[in-house]
Amino acid sequence: MSGFIHLNVASAFSGHFGVTRPERMVEAAAAQGVQAAAITDRDGLYGAVKHIGACLQLGISPIVGVNLAILDDAGNQLGRCVILAHGNNRGLGWAKLCKIVSVAHALPKAVKKQVGIARSALADLLRDEGGCTVLLGPDSDVGLEVLAANRSGAIEALEAWRECLRTPGTLAIEIVSHITEPGTELSVLQARRMLQLADATKTPAVLTNAVRYLEPDDALTADILDSARHLEALGLFKPQPNAQAWLKPASMMQSLAVEITEDRDRALELFSTTAKLAKLCALDAVGDCDWGRPKTPEKAALGIEGNPFEVLWQKAHAGIDRFYPRANDSLLTQVKHRLGQELITINKLGFATYFLTVADVAQMIRDMGIRSQARGSGAGSLTNYLLGISGVDPIEHDLLFERFLSVERSSLPDIDIDVESARRHEIYRAIFKRYGSDRVTLLSMQSTYRGRGAMRDSGLALGLDDEQIDEIAKNMWRFSARSFRGALQTKPELAKFAEEVEQDRRMSLLVDITERLDRLPRHISMHPCGVILGDISLLRRTPVEQSGLGLPMSQFDKDDMDPMGLLKLDVLGVRMQSAMAYAIREISRVSGKEIDLDAVPRDDAATFRDIRTTNTLGIFQIESPGQRELTGKHQPTEFNDLTIQISLFRPGPMKGNMIAPYLDGRHGFAKPDFIHKDLEPILRETWGVVIFHEHVIRILNQMTGCGLAKGDELRRSLEKPRIKPQIETFFRNEAAKRGYSKEVIERVWSVIEGFSSFGFCKAHGAAFALPTYQSAWLKTHYPTEFIAGLLTHDPGMYPRRLLLSEARRLGVKVLPVDVNFSTDEYLVEPITRKTLDANEPQIGVRLSIRDVQSISDAEVARIIENRPYKDTADFYLRAKPTRRTLENLALIGALDGLAAAEVTRGDVLARVRQLNAIKNRKAMNANQPTLDFSVLETMPTGNPESSKQDRVQAELSILKMDISEHVLELYRPMLDEMGVLRSDELVGLRSKTEVLVAGVRVATQTPPMRSGKRVVFVTLDDGVGCSDSTFFDEAQSRCSHILFNTRLLVIAGKTRRTGVRGVSLMAENAWDIRDLWEQWINKKKTPLAG
Amino acid sequence: MLRVDERVEVSVDRVGEPIGFWWRGAGYLVKSKPIRWFARREWWIEAARVQRGIGAGVLEVEMWRMSASSNNKDKAQYELVHTLDTSGGQKHIWRLVRVYD
């Protein structure tokens, strides 16, 4: 007996059951010297593709099955079984398995929460053709009868199964022993009786170890996953019996077999039956799963006739007139030549249908009137531009097709389309409708445990208090939870927790199990944007389950697409696209002007002037504190500058120290160094700095003559340490042959060698730069409409109150919530001018009632429907708000418009409380036929006007926005006395001036730094703008208690000039404004002591 | 059933199965084939650390059940716990935990 193939192996992709990732499990199996390895996840094939890929890489056969709950026709539980697909039958077994899993996820509504398959449905699927083997193990109904020592019950249960699964090879008994206490589940005794039953009924029996983890040590992690699955603390549910469910080697499985059978020959037979079933189930990845063969919708599904390539050729050429209407001859020649080259490549790869499919979807989206924009390397393709998929001209922006697609690679390219996020579900539904739900499914994704999530579920397992966990989780910033214990020593904000860990055993356990959970799969959900488009065979290749959206979703994730030859289209909802579409709609609605944003010239001077002020809040991609700072230094003047800036502000270029030399070159502080005159045309745009993938490809091509396609292959291989030396040799030899000096070769190699992980795809940057420019253009020319769009669709990283701050700064008129005018959106509203001052704005943004705290959608709808209201009582009677909503609306002044001008906010509130009291009375006496109208008619008078402070507080707590004035104004007397500067005063200061700034925290970031040390950036808004402060180690430990959590801050630091308009603060200390305020107030109260 | 928790000295055969033990000054001889299994522990109550790699010993223990008798007593069922003390060398530790009359 040599080698033992485990046929029941749950991986970490089994919904909090298995512990080990498939790749590791397969590696271990291969190391045990077996010829095949199985994966049998619970409820799905979530890990199957990764498993198959790992097996192929190690040259062993993949076996795939599923572990499912079985039900009888009345919906009663028949335990769980493993179902294994048979292989080498041209996909029959695999298709059956996919179908079984899909059916198990489509139980009728009554049992919807549950995943499982009716035995009769299973029998129907396996009748005649077979294709799978069902293993009846210790968890099956048969196993449970055996455990109860009910021999006749067990025989009856088994007979029922044999009745259902008559096709030979579809049924076997699974013998498992985890050497538990005699007579209990998974004991030797249960296994022995199962075997006796199998022998008595002549049912084949196989041995497994019902594996949940690779090594015994992992059993501890399994305990925690059990807790997460049960949603209960350890000790409150029945735990696994011991730590035996690991991938035992053949020798141990052999001892188990002997212990169970007490008969060496029977043990041998058990081994050989197991090996036989393994052989039957060994899959041929290509033959069975159609591994790696690209699948696209059939011609008929796309509505095309004839040769797809000819259709593509015509469609693309037809685009030339449309997109290059005024092109001169030389440009036309260039366009036609490039298009020809691209089409030849596409034809060679056989991807014509793929491009037609994407073009078809893009056209469909346009026809729906939804804004869209291709992103990623696809923007480098002229074909995509001419088909209307991408909006960026690759010739104008000098983008390379080869970065996107080449004959050197045969994997399906990725084309991602950004669309208005608010309408993306409409698009998904339309795609399903257009191509049919047998060719389309959504893509899923597996989220994994990261720091805080791992900590929360660990806390649950230990039965720790939620609040306590939240408190600790709040201070987990930018470190891998895998090294949690190490972080305790080095992170100042964890110091308090570190002390608890020393003293409290449970806290110490919390750290250990958080480390264990980190990076394990957590749960499956709908991928935010992926749609799989396949041919009619799609549902035979992938199992599907219902997504949260109600549409079917594949159990495979994005990494599984390429191996399975599935075409994934990313239709990504981008809120900025929604915000821009909204702004354009409002411009048209209020002023009647129709704007074609995509046709706006991309060289508007006013737009770039505004960008250069660094007031970029709300602008796509460049509104973050870091991008603002970079904008100040960079001072972009044209579209390509935006492409460069977006590409520079990435972890790679920052780590690779590319920003400083680029800026030095641009501002003339240093002479650009192109290394060799041949490289000057390639690197002129970035002053000699290699930033883009396209740069590397061109340099390799220039110096070795390898061609652009090969150049991209070489570039990709630079990231693979094993292949890199070959590339180096190739580069050095070829460059030398072309006469480049040793010194030049040396220098260029050192640049591109270090580049691999740093650079950015220019096409991607250019695709991003388009909405950046478009949003900046809207902000410059239509600030009111743009702010309305931002407030409605909330696209950025900042809270809404900061947008309001920005609106104030821009002079955009903000109109308060008013029940007669506000809707569920932030509408642009014409203002009737009270004065003749031409500078007064003619339009303003009316705040929405949608964001009033605790208001319901039904209330919003009722309020809008019953307008207008003539007074508060009328509103109360017809809009029927809850008492809480009515009072909230009064508190933020939304009812002020219903009362006469002289009525105070205090009067309105008193009125509302009167009305609310009626409700109370009515509830107490249901028989009272009519309302007490005397109350309805009297308006209280003489109540004081509410103070500014009260108003701002009410606005903040009810709308999360300070509308009347900036919240900081409340503290202004103290701040003035302290000498706190306003953020717009900083830009006029010299470097290293000691200052105090204050504000509301709007962003906290800990970007990766070149040194590896952690740096914390805090951005404060003080009503006139934002200030950015940098906390290094020392400052971090000085104010660790407020570094991440306090909202209102005063920061002391030194100014640091970073460019023409760039200034930031090196923080030295920070305080909570409210603490300072308390001290200040107390000091004011206490008379000076003698 | 009598619950105890006392250290006992155990003699084992070549494959590690107990053949006899000394408890409270008396020698006991094993009279049946001992049965071994693995039981679990509630580490979340007992353990100080469960870091990755600590091993399954935190979670499970090896148990042995056998009938045995001493000179002057009737045969009874005895349950022993077997652990390895890894702090200094690989020392076998046996504890008697249950006696069934």
β-sheet bridge partners, residue A445: A525
Q: How many Cβ contacts (< 8 angstroms) between chains A and B?
A: 78
In which band, very low, low, confident or very high, does the pLDDT at B41 lie, cut at 50, 70 and 90? very high
Question: How near does any CA of chain B get to the CA of A722, in Å?
Answer: 30
What pLDDT, on the 0 to 100 scale, is given for residue A964? Answer: 87
What pLDDT, on the 0 to 100 scale, is given for residue B88? Answer: 59
What pLDDT, on the 0 to 100 scale, is given for residue A836? Answer: 62
Yes or no, beta carbons of B56 and A220 under 8 Å apart: yes
**Residue A969 to residue A533: CA distance in whole angstroms:** 55
What pLDDT, on the 0 to 100 scale, is given for residue A270? Answer: 97
Q: How many other CB atoms are found less than 10 A from the CB of residue A1044?
A: 17
Contacts with B53 from chain A: Cβ below 8 Å: 217
Contacts with B51 from chain A: Cβ below 8 Å: 485, 512, 515
Q: How far apart are the first and last CA of chain B?
A: 6
Angle (nearest 5°) at CA A480 between A477 and A485: 90
**Contact between A959 and A851 (Cβ < 8 Å):** yes
If you ran DSSP here, which 8-state letter would residue A204 be given? -
Cβ neighbours for A996, distance < 8 A, ≥ 6 positions apart:
A978, A979, A980, A981, A1050, A1051, A1052
β-sheet bridge partners, residue A246: A213
Contacts with A178 from chain B: Cβ below 8 Å: 38
**Residue A1044 to residue A1034: CA distance in whole angstroms:** 15
- In Å, how far are A584, A784, A800, A840, A905 from A844, measured between CA atoms? 15, 6, 17, 10, 23
* Calculated CA dihedral for residues A361, A364, A368, A373, nearest 10 degrees: 40
Higher pLDDT, B18 or A919: B18
Yes or no, beta carbons of B38 and A509 under 8 Å apart: no
What pLDDT, on the 0 to 100 scale, is given for residue A492? Answer: 81
What pLDDT, on the 0 to 100 scale, is given for residue A923? Answer: 43
Give the residue from chain A lying closest to B44, CA to CA: A462
Q: Is A258 exposed, middle or buried (0-12, 13-18, 19+ CB in 10 A)?
A: middle
What pLDDT, on the 0 to 100 scale, is given for residue A464? Answer: 92
Q: Does A108 touch chain B (CB under 8 A)?
A: no
Q: Does A243 touch chain B (CB under 8 A)?
A: yes
Which residue from A179, A240, A516 is facing B37, i.e. has the nearest CB? A179
Question: Sign of torsion, CA A707 A709 A711 A717?
Answer: negative
Question: How near does any CA of chain B get to the CA of A1043, in Å?
Answer: 30
**Residue A348 to residue A352: CA distance in whole angstroms:** 9
Q: Does A214 touch chain B (CB under 8 A)?
A: no
Q: Does A182 touch chain B (CB under 8 A)?
A: yes
- Over chain A (1090 residues), what is each successive 10-residue block's mean pLDDT? 86 96 97 96 96 97 97 91 97 97 83 83 93 97 96 96 94 98 95 97 97 97 96 96 97 96 96 97 97 87 90 95 92 96 92 91 94 89 94 92 85 84 94 92 92 90 90 76 84 85 93 93 87 92 91 94 90 94 96 93 96 93 90 93 92 79 91 93 93 93 94 88 91 95 94 77 92 97 97 89 90 93 95 69 92 93 94 90 93 90 86 78 47 62 85 91 89 93 88 93 78 84 90 88 87 86 88 92 71
Yes or no, beta carbons of B38 and A244 under 8 Å apart: yes
Please compute, for residue A1030, the number of CA atoms within 13 A of its CA located in the half-sphere on the CB side.
18
Q: Does A252 touch chain B (CB under 8 A)?
A: no
- In Å, how far are A50, A129, B35 from B84, measured between CA atoms? 38, 54, 19
Which of B40, B54, B81, B100 is the best substitution to test chain A (most A C-beta atoms within 10 A)? B40
Helices first, then strands: H and E counts in chain A:
48, 22
What pLDDT, on the 0 to 100 scale, is given for residue A934? Answer: 54
Which residue from B39, B50, B63 is facing A220, i.e. has the nearest CB? B50
What pLDDT, on the 0 to 100 scale, is given for residue A384? Answer: 95
Which residue from A187, A462, A508 is facing B37, i.e. has the nearest CB? A187
Contacts with B52 from chain A: Cβ below 8 Å: 217, 512, 515-516
* Pairing relationship of beta strands A1063-1072 and A1026-1031 according to DSSP bridges: parallel
Question: How near does any CA of chain B get to the CA of A79, in Å?
Answer: 24
What pLDDT, on the 0 to 100 scale, is given for residue A932? Answer: 54
What pLDDT, on the 0 to 100 scale, is given for residue A1045? Answer: 81
- Packing angle between helix A762-781 and helix A639-648, nearest 10 degrees? 120
* High-pLDDT (> 90) share of chain B, %: 68
Contacts with B36 from chain A: Cβ below 8 Å: 179
Strands (E), A152-261: 171-175, 205-207
User: What's the pTM value of the predicted model, to 2 decimals?
Assistant: 0.83
**Contact between A334 and A388 (Cβ < 8 Å):** no
Q: Tokens standing for A866? A: 């019953």
What pLDDT, on the 0 to 100 scale, is given for residue A921? Answer: 46
What pLDDT, on the 0 to 100 scale, is given for residue A296? Answer: 85
Encode burial over A952-964: b for 16+ CB neighbours within 10 A, e otherwise: bbbbbebbebbbb
Nearest C-alpha neighbor of A816 from the set A787, A849, A843? A849
- In Å, how far are A840, A980, A1020 from A805, measured between CA atoms? 18, 19, 12
- In Å, how far are A25, A244, A456, A978, B48 from A220, measured between CA atoms? 17, 11, 17, 56, 13
**Contact between A532 and A441 (Cβ < 8 Å):** yes
What pLDDT, on the 0 to 100 scale, is given for residue A1? Answer: 39
Question: Sign of torsion, CA A570 A571 A576 A581?
Answer: positive
Contacts with B56 from chain A: Cβ below 8 Å: 216-217, 219-220, 243
β-sheet bridge partners, residue A523: A447
Element spanning A747, H or E: helix A742-755
